Amino acid sequence: MTGAADIEPGLYDIPAELYHSDPVPGGSLSASGAKVLADCPARYAYLLDHPQPFKPAFEFGTAAHTVVLGDGPKLVVVEAELWNTTEIKAKVTAIRQAGGIPLKQAAYQQICDMAEVLAADPEASEILTPGSGVAEQSIFWTDGQIWWRSRFDWLRSDLIADYKTTQSIHPDKLSKTVHELRYTIQEHIYRRGAYELGLIPDGGAFKFIFQEKQPPYLVQVAELDPVARYAGLRDTHLAAGRYLYGRETGHWPAYSETSTVIGLPPYIERQYA
């Protein structure tokens, strides 16, 4: 891919910056966009015109991906505990402007320790066996109405793997995280795109690799159950419908366009039943 005019359905090894800039003429829909659309079209439209400002908090996850997957921006350790001096602020800014990620020594060591624990996990290490797949690959494809795009953490001929750092791998916490962050939508869009392009077989696996960000850096490989996968299918269809409607009409509604009645959450209502 050398420019927007060259885009065709397929797999591309391109920089993350080009992927996120959306090189599809007329625009494409990613899992991140679909998650917002499934919640609130008005918010999606706003974010299109008002991209979110850079958040240093995202750098840790990106840096962890770089170490674990062996692909990503350059990591630069800044030898200073505090980044509040003019000199250090300038150095950090320069690193980011050059496309790198500045890290304090403690954060870099933490990520290295996480990678070591991950490598010792039999299932996770087997999935990410060097040479068994490729990291940070992008796909673009169309269903005839919508152009879609996705970027895989790890792609093999038999599965897709997505590495996520998290606060807790307790089953109840993971269930809540998957629902609140709408990982169900991501799973559906990634799996469907890979299948449509012939990159994985029908029924090919999608494995989440969750890892806690605090010692002992526990690891959990997980797949979605049938109900969660159905939720991903349903919510993706909802997002796609809202996307098509918004593009055609220019109207991106909020949660409700009329007066509404507010009740209490079910678990609170039960206390008054």
Q: For residue 50, is pLDDT > 50?
A: yes
H/E segment holding residue 85: none
Tokens of 112: 């290295």
Q: Kindly report which listed range (50-54, 101-105, 215-219) carries the lowest average pLDDT score.
A: 50-54
The three-class DSSP label of residue 110 is helix
Q: For residue 54, is pLDDT > 80?
A: no
Q: For residue 4, is pLDDT > 60?
A: no
pLDDT tens by residue, 15-38:
998 999 999 999 999 999 999 999
Integer Cα distance of 124 and 30 in angstroms: 26
Residue of 164, 169, 142 lying closest to 24 (CA atoms): 142
H/E segment holding residue 226: helix 226-249
Q: For residue 152, is pLDDT > 90?
A: yes
Integer Cα distance of 95 and 75 in angstroms: 9
H/E segment holding residue 259: none
Please report which confidence band the pLDDT of residue 2 belongs to, taking 50, 70 and 90 as the band edges: very low
- Looking at residue 56, what is its pLDDT? 74
- Looking at residue 156, what is its pLDDT? 97
If you average pLDDT over every residue of the chain, what do you get?
Answer: 93
* Residue found under tokens 């049938």: 226
- Looking at residue 84, what is its pLDDT? 86
Q: What is the mean pLDDT of residues 149-167?
A: 97
Q: Kindly report which listed range (50-59, 63-72, 188-197) carries the lowest average pLDDT score.
A: 50-59
CB of 232 within 8 A of CB of 224?
yes
* Cβ atoms within 10 Å, residue 9: 13
- Looking at residue 1, what is its pLDDT? 53
> E-strand spans in the chain?
10-12, 75-77, 101-103, 134-142, 147-155, 159-166, 205-212, 219-222
Cα 150 to chain centroid distance, Å, stands at: 9
pLDDT tens by residue, 160-193:
999 999 999 999 999 999 999 999 999 999 999 9
Domains defined along the chain, listed by start: 4-50+125-268 (3.90.320.10), 54-120 (no CATH)
Q: What is the mean pLDDT of residues 229-246?
A: 98
Q: For residue 131, is pLDDT > 70?
A: yes
Residue of 148, 199, 136, 134 lying closest to 7 (CA atoms): 148
Q: What is the mean pLDDT of residues 222-239?
A: 98
CB of 195 within 8 A of CB of 233?
no
Longest dimension (CA), the chain: 63
Integer Cα distance of 181 and 183 in angstroms: 6
* Cβ atoms within 10 Å, residue 250: 8
Q: For residue 3, is pLDDT > 70?
A: no
